[in-house]
Chain A
Amino acid sequence: MFDWFAKVGKNAIDFFARFGREVLLFIQAVIGFATLIPRPGLVVQQLFSVGVRSMLIIIVSGFFVGMVLGLQGYNTLVDFGAEESLGVVVALSLVRELGPVVTALLYAGRAGSALTAEIGLMKATEQLSGLEMMAVNPVSRILSPRLLAGIISMPLLAAMFSAVGVFGGYLVGVDMLGVDSGAYWSQMQAKVDFNDDIVNGVIKSFAFGIVTTWIAVYEGYSCIPTSEGVSRATTRTVVYSALVVLGLDFLLTALMLD
């Protein structure tokens, strides 16, 4: 009986201790942003590995998601004679939900796992301790540029995803299925609001960029420095990022639709 309570208590304490460590690391990394001002090259390098290298997968998936939305939306809307609204369906679902969420999931798989593995391996090969020996703060030297690059890249990647998806939907809806081209754009422009829809999507992708990169960086920095520990940390990054992104998406949507 008492064992059971002890177990629950231990789990709760572990959870909050872990969360506290994550918050502390995040604050340290954000403070470390100041050290990046004289050395923007570090961020550019990370933007390359986090952003540029994720661009291809984001654009290709955005295109296919847009095309699928076009097909599915058309088949449903045509029953009501409302296939002219296809542009609205495609644009709203991409800009409000699919753009930020799918981009964040792909980003966690493509860039987040790579970040964790990289930092974890640095820890395993004692490069982080080496930096500390040279009186270089590993948090601001290694983690801050990666965190900042992730926060910058996510909104840009999500915007690319949505924009390419809208054109994918156009290709299927207008060129293949014969929706009127003018109606596709004009209905979309009439129904999609800049402040309510697009800015909200950008805020979402910004928030997802913070949490996914934060999780990736924390998992890498706190992993057990063995090959097995690194592999576990990489798995945890992807799993936790996906769960947090989907949960946070619900919260943000509920707040924004208010």
Chain B
Amino acid sequence: MSSTRVLEISVGIFVAAGIAALLVLAVNVSNVTAFHSGDQYIVKASFDNISGLKVRSAVTIAGVTVGRVKAITVDPVSFEAVVDMAIDSKYNEIPVDSSAGIYTAGLLGEKYVGIEPGGAPDFLEQNSEIHLTQSSIVLEKLISQFLFSQSDSDKKDK
């Protein structure tokens, strides 16, 4: 083998190794294939409060991720948060009377949208809206309610 051939082969190995490393990062580290490929459809839902939900948060049914939050805006009239969810078109048989709630994974974990399927014969389509929603639980409000109710009951006891 001539020395230029050795040189060319080693450069080839170098470039291939670099691209392989990029692929490892893309597939193994960031799991790029999960929800970038494939068709999706957009479903909207309005919430009174979404505190902590972010774009790209997971949308789940029975704990299985079926989509991602695509955009979060405020309705200028009702001042409700409108959450656009991109749902994988594999899951195109979600009943229209399903309800959506914002939950927390664990006590301090990430917020996600959980969809509870209903029983209607029609299915959600592109740009349809989920009407039954349950807002995110704001921990501070719960704690203050608890504290105030405690102090009220203390007063009554006296």
Binding site for B on A (CB under 8 A): 41, 44-45, 47-48, 51-52, 55, 91, 95, 152-153, 155-157, 159-160, 162-164, 166, 185, 188-190, 192-194, 197-198, 201-202
**Bound-state Cα–Cα, A198 to B26, Å:** 7
Known A189-B31, A194-B32: A48·B25 in contact at CB below 8 Å: no
Beyond A48-B14, A189-B29, 16 additional contacts (C-beta under 8 Å) are A44-B7, A44-B11, A47-B14, A51-B14, A52-B14, A55-B14, A152-B15, A155-B22, A156-B21, A162-B29, A166-B24, A166-B25, A188-B29, A189-B34, A190-B31, A198-B25
Nearest B residue to A189 via CB reads B31
Q: Is the CB of B30 within 8 A of A159?
A: no
Interface 0/1 of B9-29, CB less than 8 Å to A:
011011101111110111011
Q: List 29 A-B contacts (CB under 8 A).
A: A44-B7, A44-B8, A47-B14, A47-B15, A52-B11, A52-B14, A55-B14, A55-B17, A153-B18, A156-B17, A156-B18, A156-B21, A157-B18, A159-B22, A160-B17, A160-B21, A163-B21, A166-B24, A166-B25, A166-B28, A189-B29, A189-B30, A189-B34, A192-B30, A193-B30, A194-B26, A194-B32, A198-B25, A202-B22
Contact A95 B25 (CB under 8 A): yes
Shortest distance from the beta carbon of A16 to any chain B beta carbon, whole Å: 37
The verdict on B131 contacting chain A, using a C-beta distance below 8 Å, is: no
Chain B residue at smallest Cβ distance from A41: B4
Kindly state the separation between the CA atoms of A255 and B17 in the bound complex, as whole angstroms: 30
CA distance A190 to B30 in the complex (A): 7
Considering only CB atoms, which chain A residue lies closest to B34 in the complex?
A189
Please list the 8 inter-chain residue pairs (A to B) with the smallest Cβ-Cβ separation, ordered nearest first.
A156-B18, A189-B31, A163-B21, A159-B21, A194-B32, A192-B30, A160-B21, A159-B22
CA distance A166 to B28 in the complex (A): 10
Contacts from B to A (Cβ < 8 Å)? 4, 7-8, 10-11, 13-15, 17-22, 24-26, 28-32, 34, 36, 56
Q: Is the CB of A91 within 8 A of B10?
A: no
Q: Are A160 and B28 in contact (CB-based, < 8 A)? A: no
Shortest distance in angstroms between B4's beta carbon and chain A's nearest beta carbon? Answer: 8
> Which of A91, A153, A163, A193 gathers the greatest number of chain B CB atoms within 10 Å?
A163
